[in-house]
Amino acid sequence: MAIYLFKRISSSIVVLLGVSLLLYCLVYLAPSDPARIIAAQRLGGDVPGADEIEWVRKEYGLDQPLLVQYVSWLGRTVRGDLGYSIRTGNPVADELRHAVGYSLALAAAAMGLVLVIAIPAGVLAGMHEGSVWDRVMRFVSATWVSIPEFWLAFLLIACFSIQLRWLPSYGAKSWRHFILPVLSLGLISAARLAYLIRSAVLEELHQDYMRTARGKGYSYRMSVIRHALPNIVAPFVTMAAYQFSGLASGSVIIETLFAWPGVGSYYVDGIGFRDIPVIQVTALFFASVFMLANCLADVIIVMVDPRVRME
Amino acid sequence: MNVRRWRRWACRNSFSASGIILALLLIIACLLAPILAPGDPTTIDLTTGLQSPSSAHWLGTDELGREVLSRVLWAGRLSISTMAVVLLCCVGVGGAVGVVSGYLGGLIDNVAMRIADFFHAVPQLVLALALIGVLGPGTGSLITALIVTGWVRYARLVRSLVLSEQNSEYIVAVQAIGATHTRIILRHLLPSVTGPMLVQISLDSGATILAIAGLSFIGLGIQPPTPEWGKMLVDARPYLGSAPHLVLPPGLAIFVLVFGFNSLSAGLEHILRPGN
C-alpha cells in the first residue's frame, strides 16, 4: 500500500514537472518578443523604446538561457512566489487564492448535483434494463451530452432570469447567484455520468456471482445492493474523478458567461490580455487539480477494492 | 462496412439513426452555403435589424440586420471545415507517432509516451486556451491549439492497438517473409486499426465542434465579423428575452451536429464489435 502510494504520487510529480516545462516553453512559441509585450503593457499602450525593452529583458531574466529561466521560475513557483500579473500589477498568488474559493464552491456544488442525480438515475436504469425508466434515462442522457453547456446556460437564463425573474444571471453575491451556474455545469455532466453508471451496473449484473446470489435466495434488489454495487465502486470513482476534471474545464466557459469571479474567468481574462504569468500559473493550477483528482481516485480504489490491491 | 448490420442497428435505434441523417443534411446544407444562403452573412443593414422570422427572412435578422439563416449556414461551413482540418492533422500526427512508437518500442516509444503524458495531464480546453493566450486569438491559433492538444489521444490509441496486433501470427508471418517495416506498418498494421479509429474520430468530431463554438463563445476562437455559432450566441445575449430566433438556431445547429456524431460513433462501435 505504502509502496503503491509512493509510486503513484512520485509519478504524478514527474508528470506535473513535465507539464510545467511544457507550459513554460509555450512562451517561446509567441510570434512576438515577450519582453516587448511586457514593456508595452507596462507603458499602458505606448510603443516601448529599445532601452525599455532591454531593461525588461534584464529585469525579468529573459536574457538568460531557457533552462536557467525555467529552473528559477519553477523554484519561485514551488515556494509560492507566483510572480505579478502584467494586467493588474498584483501578485498572482493573491489573485488566484481569491478566485480558487469561488471556483471550489461552484465545483463542489455542481459535483454534488451530479452525484445526486447520476447515481440513482444510473443504478435504477441499469437494474431495470429495457423498462420505461431505462429508456427515458437513455434518451435524456444521449441528448443532453450533445447540448453545449453555454447554450443550456442561455436557455436557463432566458427562462429563470428574464421570463420568471426568479434568479440573477450574473455575479456572485448570494446563494441565489449559485443556482444557474451550478445547473448549467452539473446537468450535462450528470447525464454523462448516469449513462456510464448504467453500463457499469449492467456489466456486473451479467456476472456469475449475481446468479449465485439469486440462487441463494437473495431478492433481486438485495443482490444488487449487496453484491453488484460494491463491485462498481472502482469504475465509479474513476468516472467521477474524470467528470470532476470535466467540470474544471467546463467552468472556464460557464464562469465567464455568469461573470463568476473564479479561476476559469480569471484564466480567460489573463488570456485575453496575454498576461503570461497568469496564463502559466493558472494552467498549471488546472493541471494540478486534474492530477490530484485522478491520484485521489486511484488511492480510493486501492482502499476499497481488494482486487486492485492484489495487483 | 456492412449495410445489413447498419440497417438492423438503425431499426433498433431509430432516434440515433434519425440524428445521423439530420446531421448529414445539416452538413450538406452548410457546405452548400454559397448556393443556399439567401444573402450575404456579413452585410450590415440597420434598417432591417432584429426582425422576427418571416417569408422574406426565414430565420429573421440579427441586431445589425444580417440574415440569421445565412449566418448559421456560413458559420457551419467554417466550423465543419475547421473541424475537418483539425481532425485530419490530429489523426495524421497522432497516428504516425502511435504506429512508430508502438512498432519500434524502446527509447523512441518511451520518450514519445512521456511527452504524450504531459499533454494528457492537462484538460484539452485548458491547454488549448494557454496556447491561444500566447499566440493571440484567431482562426489560425484556434486550429493550431486544437491540433497541438488533440494528437495525443490518437497517438495513445494507435499505439495500444499496434501493441495488441503486433504479436499476432499474421504479423509474425509477414515479418518472416522479410517484409520491410514500412510495408508492415502501411499494409498490415494500419488497416487493422481503422475501426476503433473511426469510432474515436466520430466522437472527437462532436467534441471539436463543441470546442470551436466554446472558444469562440468566450471571444478566443474565430473572430468577428466572420460568422460563428458560439459567437452568434454571445452576440444574442442582450436579446435573450426578446428575440429567441437569435438564440435557438445556432444552439440547435451545434446540438444536431454533435448529437449526429455521437450517434454515429455509437453505431460504429456497435457494428464493429466482433460477434455482432
pLDDT digits (tens, 9 = 90+) for A247-291: 877 889 999 999 899 999 999 998 888 888 888 899 999 989 888
C-alpha cell at B44: 450590415
User: Residue A136 above 80 pLDDT?
Assistant: yes
- The predicted model gives A133-141 an average pLDDT of 89
Mean of per-residue pLDDT scores for chain A = 85
Amino acid identity, position A118? A
Which range has the worst mean pLDDT, A89-93, A100-104, B250-254? Answer: A89-93
Residue B241: the pLDDT is: 80
Q: To the nearest whole angstrom, how far is the Cα of B44 from the nearest Cα of chain A?
A: 25
Q: To the nearest whole angstrom, how far is the Cα of B247 from the nearest Cα of chain A?
A: 8
- The predicted model gives B105-121 an average pLDDT of 87
CB contact under 8 A, A268 and B218: yes
The answer to whether B122 faces chain A, any CB pair under 8 Å, is yes
- The predicted model gives A101-116 an average pLDDT of 92
Least CA distance to A293: which residue of chain B? B121
Residues in B closer than 8 angstroms to A145, CB to CB, are: 262
Q: DSSP 3-state helix, strand, coil percentages of chain A (rounded to 5)?
A: 80, 0, 20
Residue A194: the pLDDT is: 92
The CA distance from B161 to B16, in Å, is: 28
What is this structure's pTM? Answer: 0.88
Within a 13 Å sphere around the CA of A12, how many CA atoms are in the beta-carbon half? Answer: 19
C-alpha cell at A172: 456572485
Q: What is the distance, to the nearest Å, from the Cα of residue B99 to the centroid of all Cα atoms in its chain? A: 22
User: Residue A75 above 90 pLDDT?
Assistant: no
Q: DSSP 3-state helix, strand, coil percentages of chain B (rounded to 5)?
A: 75, 0, 20
Question: Position of cell 439567401?
Answer: B38
The CA distance from B158 to B172, in Å, is: 19
Residue A5: the pLDDT is: 81
ipTM score for this prediction: 0.85
First and final CA of chain B: distance in angstroms?
13
The answer to whether B34 faces chain A, any CB pair under 8 Å, is no
Least CA distance to A279: which residue of chain B? B130
The answer to whether B208 faces chain A, any CB pair under 8 Å, is no
The CA distance from B96 to B112, in Å, is: 11
pLDDT (tens digit, 9 = 90+) per residue, A193-219? 999 999 888 888 888 888 888 888 888
Name residues whose C-beta falls within 8 Å of residue A183's C-beta, 6 or more positions apart in sequence.
A113, A156
Q: How confident is the model at residue A88 (pLDDT cuts 50, 70, 90)?
A: confident
Name residues whose C-beta falls within 8 Å of residue A43's C-beta, 6 or more positions apart in sequence.
A52
Residue A238: the pLDDT is: 86
Whether A192 contacts A138, CB under 8 Å: no
pLDDT (tens digit, 9 = 90+) per residue, B192-243? 888 889 999 999 999 999 999 999 999 888 888 889 999 999 988 888 888 8
Coil, strand, or helix at residue A91? strand
**Is residue B274 reached through a cis peptide bond, with omega within 30 degrees of 0 on the bond before it?**
no
User: Residue B1 above 70 pLDDT?
Assistant: no
Evaluated on CA atoms A295, B93, B228, B35, the torsion sign reads negative
Give A229-241 as a DSSP string: HHHHHHHHHHHHH
Mutating which of A154, A198, A278, A298 best tests the B interface, going by the most B Cβ atoms within 10 A?
A: A154
CB contact under 8 A, B126 and A143: no
